[in-house]
Structure 1
Amino acid sequence: MPVSLPSPLLPPPSISAKSAQEEPARSWNTQKLGLRVGADALAAGSAGVLVAPIITMIDKGIIENASGRNTLGESLKKSARELFVSPHRFLGSKPFALIFTLYFGTYFTANTLDTTTSTLKSTPPSTTTAGTPKFLATSTANLALCLYKDSRFTQLFGSTGPSRPVPLPTFALFTIRDCLTIYASFNLPPLLAPTVAQHMGAEAQKWMSAASVAQFVTPAAVQVFSTPLHLLGLDLYNRPRVKVGGVDGRAKRVLRDWGKASLARMGRIVPAFGVGGVVNTKVRRGLMERLE
């Protein structure tokens, strides 16, 4: 009689003991968040109130010169006289309020985006960014505020006839102009600073950092390309029935004013995104480092 051998016991299927390593909980840097947003506003306000007077005068002068209401030089003299003789009237005027709101809003948007990024990524409060989100955020804020400011300035200081709505082509040209300026003001300087540092000696960087040089030069240089767009937009409003060509067409008018208008716009951009950008960055960094 055959003997049945017991079947070998098979080991039970092994239950793989997966390590119960839990992903670390994401931590947000919300420490002193209210004070940090306050520092963002204070830095933006400091920069805005510093640059608004000169930009108000230059913007008014460029528009009055383009419309024929006044020459650029005479308009600047008149505005400067009002600033020094009646500062309360100048600083309380609608043009000054429009310019201050424009740059405060732009700087504050850039600052709060940096604060939001440092909060979500748990980095030090003084951290700054230079990517696409910052460009989109600052461009959106600047465009919305600048288009409103430009429409009001054009109606206030444009052609001598009755005030009328600003045409859509003028808005489109102003939009392209501002996109160029914003990109050259907030995104290019951090990218170009390392290259600038390579061409600056160590002794020169003791007086001014490469980041500050890039912040001054880049926004000013782009005005050579954006000023014709600005002048063409103004001419579309001032002379709605004029053709592009002809003896006194739009192209000739733009070429006539390109040089001095470019210099004037450089004169407004250097304080707006050069001086203002440096002041905003340094005031914000100093306040944030104290909070750290």
Structure 2
Amino acid sequence: MQHALTEHQSLNDVLGRLTGDLCAATASATLVSPAVAIIDRAIVEQASLNQSLLRGLRKHTLAALRSPGRFVFSAPFRIIWTLYAATYTVANGTDTIGHALKAPATGMLTFVSTTLVNVPTAVWKDVRFAQIYGTSKAKICEGSQKPFAQNPNFMRGATAIFLLRDCVTIFGCFTLAPRLADAIPESSSLASHPNVKPIVTQLTVPMLTQLVATPLHLLGLDLYMRQYPIPLADRLVQSQRYLASTTMVRCIRILPAFGFGGVANLEFRSFFHSMFAVS
């Protein structure tokens, strides 16, 4: 009887933690989505329409502040919220279940499961943003008088690059950052508080991944926007001309998405786990 009661309590504890994981994911996604939606729109419009990145950020931020209801209930906001709610939910849930089962490779399981959810959802988000803010406005392809038409080969190439970009980001955010936090010596000044090490790595490592992810992002956007034969050297020159400014903005973008968002998710998980803990 005692053994059955213990198992029952353990199951309830895991279910309580999973409920907390879902609440934490929902709160974190709601917190980060406004900034990410504005930044992603400005980046797509810069790449496809040659619009000023800073002007786009300012314009869309002011528009969101003037009409917050319209902004929050818009399709782009819903797309971004869905992306991060799904990502945080799977990452949190996999971590909770892995630790409950005492799985030896919980970190790798979290990376794999989060990648399987985040990457296709992020690619869907990128394609939808390109359709809404890029190709829907740029009706005529550069150097051609023919209307824009999708080419399956270029679509597959762009999708593959977006997949690689997101694998780099997810690995840095959910696998590399925790590993580096664990690798910081206990004698370090960062170990003075139990939460300092994960906070520091969660804020810095995701930003550093953008040094690799941003060139891939711009090349993928170029393949999607210009779906016609172009010499690779010309495509690289054109796609990377905004590399410095876009890298800076994507580093800033990653802070709310996986930096501050990741820290907020950790804190929300701790709060909701204690709230739903089995006494």
Match of 2:28 in 1: 47
Q: 2:110 aligns with which of 104, 119, 134?
A: 134
The Cα of 1:251 is off from its aligned counterpart by 1.2
Corresponding residue for residue 143 of structure 1: 119
Q: What is the CA–CA distance in structure 1 between the aligned matches of 2:201 and 2:218, rounded to whole Å? A: 26
Change (3 A) 1:65 1:190: same
Q: Deviations over 1:97-142 (max 9, x none)?
A: 0001000100000111122224334x9xxxxx85211111000010
**Matched residues in 2 for 1:224 and 1:273: separation?**
15
Q: Sort the Cα spacing of 1:194 and 1:112 in 2 relative to 1 into closer, same or farther, 3 A.
A: closer
Partner of 1:97: 78
The answer on 1:214 being equivalent to 2:201 is: yes
Q: Does structure 2 conserve the Cα–Cα contact (< 8 Å) formed by 1:30 and 1:119? A: no
1:245 Cα shift?
Answer: 4.7
| Distance of 2:188 and 2:17 partners within structure 1 | 33
Give the aligned partner of residue 10 of structure 1: none
Q: Post-superposition shift, 1:197?
A: 5.1
Q: Is the 8 A contact 2:95 2:106 kept in 1?
A: no
Deviates more, 1:28-37 or 1:134-143: 28-37
CA distance in 1, matches of 2:117, 2:148: 26
CA distance in 1, matches of 2:54, 2:215: 20
Q: Secondary structure at the match of 2:11?
A: coil
CA contact (8 A) 2:14 2:97 kept: no
Q: CA RMSD in A?
A: 2.7
Paired position in structure 1 for 2:269 = 284
| AA of the residue aligned to 1:263 | M
Letter in 2 for 1:176: L
Q: How many percent identity over aligned positions?
A: 35
Paired residues for 1:194-209 under 5 Å: 194-196=182-184, 200-201=188-189, 205=192, 209=196
2:80 is paired with a residue whose SS is helix
**2:100 is the counterpart of 1:119:** yes
**1:190 aligns to what?**
178
Counterpart of 2:38 in 1: which secondary structure?
helix
Pick the structure with greater CA Rg.
1
Further displaced range: 143-152 or 111-120: 111-120
What residue in structure 2 maps to residue 262 of structure 1? 247
- The answer to which structure, 1 or 2, has the higher relative contact order (CA under 8 A, 6+ apart) is 2
Conserved? CA contact 1:47–1:279, under 8 Å: yes
Give 1:183 shift. Answer: 0.3
Pairing 1:216-235 to 2, within 5 Å after superposition:
216-235=203-222
Gapped regions of structure 2 (runs ≥ 5): 140-146
Match of residue 60, structure 1, among 41, 46, 52: 41
Given residue 169 of structure 2, which amino acid in structure 1 is its aligned partner?
A: T
Q: CA deviation at 1:60?
A: 0.6
1:277 and 1:109 mapped to 2: Cα distance? 13
TM-score by length of 2: 0.85
Give the aligned length.
261
Kindly provide the CA deviation profile for residues 234-264 of structure 1, in whole angstroms up to 9, marking residues without a partner as x.
1111112252356xx2111233111111111
Q: By percentage of residues, which structure has more helix?
A: 2
Question: TM-score, normalising length from structure 1?
Answer: 0.81
Aligned-partner residue type, residue 112 of structure 2? L
* 2: CA distance, partners of 1:237 / 1:199: 49
3-state SS, counterpart of residue 222 of structure 1: helix
Change over 3 Å in CA distance of 1:69–1:155 after alignment to 2:
farther
